[in-house]
Amino acid sequence: MTFDRSLKIAPSILSADFADFGREIRAIEDQGADWVHVDVMDGHFVPNLTFGPPAVKAFRKHVTTVMDVHLMISPVDAYIDAYAEAGADMLTAHVEAGPHIHRTLQAIRAVGMKAGVALNPGTPAEAVTDLLDVADMVLVMTVNPGFGGQKFLDMTAKIARVRDMIGDREVHIQVDGGVDPTTAPLVVAAGADVLVAGSAVFRGGSVDAAHVYGENMRAIRAAVQG
């Protein structure tokens, strides 16, 4: 993975057909996805349950771009090796997942992945102040994590603070939750470069009507580019 701040769209396969992940991943990549966002939930840190390392490893065979794994689990450290083995390129842990996020980020990098750190809506930007030299990405949540299709929460002031704090470090800012053609320009103007979108990408499409995924992603890019 090389670093740049160009706009990247990372469709969340939480909104895909769960019986057809291989074809869904190929469809979004064919239609222009930059990264593939994989939401891992444990039914404990968040009130929903998705997939674990064997499923993520199976997704890997279909991903030719970047496999971006968002862990909504606690604890994290015991599973880092399993997600490295599963083939994650970026592994993101929540600052709230505890107990030692700095150690967690170091451990993610130590096994060859990029390390992301996520902030829930209720957590201030300052929680990452002392993590920016051990992180490759800050994920600012614009919904409380757990489900797709929730209403966007305006975290633009937080995104702008994180952007200032990052300075010239090579650290991405990702935004996740309620991103669509209306909200994407706001978060990009505030400093985000990686946009996760589930419902706004998959809405109205299917593997047999994948051009809709492409149209949905182009609508987000067009809105951002004005």
- For helices 53-60 and 21-30, give the axis angle rounded to 10 degrees: 50
Interface segment toward ligand DX5; rule CB under 6 A; list 90-98, 126-134, 141-149, 215-223: 141-149
Taking residue 46's Cβ as centre, other Cβ atoms within 10 Å add up to: 20
Rounded distance, CA 189 to CA 205, Å? 28
Q: Check the annotation: does 87 bind a ligand.
A: no
- 193 included as an active-site residue: no
100 is in an annotated binding site: no
Tell me which residue of 29, 35, 37, 87 sits closest to 60, measured CA to CA.
87
Whole-number Å distance between alpha carbons of 9 and 38: 13
Q: C-beta of 147: minimal distance to ligand DX5 in Å?
A: 6
Q: Considering the complex, state which of residue 130 and residue 179 has its C-beta at the smaller distance from ligand DX5.
A: 179
Nearer to ligand DX5 by Cβ, of 131 and 196: the residue is: 196
Give the distance from CA 166 to its chain's centroid. Answer: 18
Catalytic residue among 34, 39, 68, 193: 39
The site for ligand DX5, by CB under 6 A, has a size of 22
The 3-class SS string of 131-200 reads: HCCCCCEEEEECCCCCCCCCCCCCCHHHHHHHHHHHCCCCCEEEEECCCCCCCHHHHHHHCCCEEEECHH
- If the CB atoms of residues 149 and 204 are measured against ligand DX5, the closer one turns out to be 149
Specify whether 176 is catalytic. Answer: yes
Binding residues for ligand DX5 restricted to 34-73, rule: CB under 6 A: 37, 39, 70
- Please tell me whether residue 120 binds ligand DX5 under the rule CB under 6 A: no
**Is 172 a residue that touches Zn ion (CB under 5 A)?**
no
Do residues 93 and 133 touch, judged by C-beta distance below 8 A? no
Which residues make up the interface to ligand DX5 (CB under 6 A)?
12, 14-15, 37, 39, 70, 143, 145-150, 176-179, 196-200
Residues recognised as catalytic: 39, 176
Give the annotated binding-site residues for a divalent metal cation.
37, 39, 70, 176
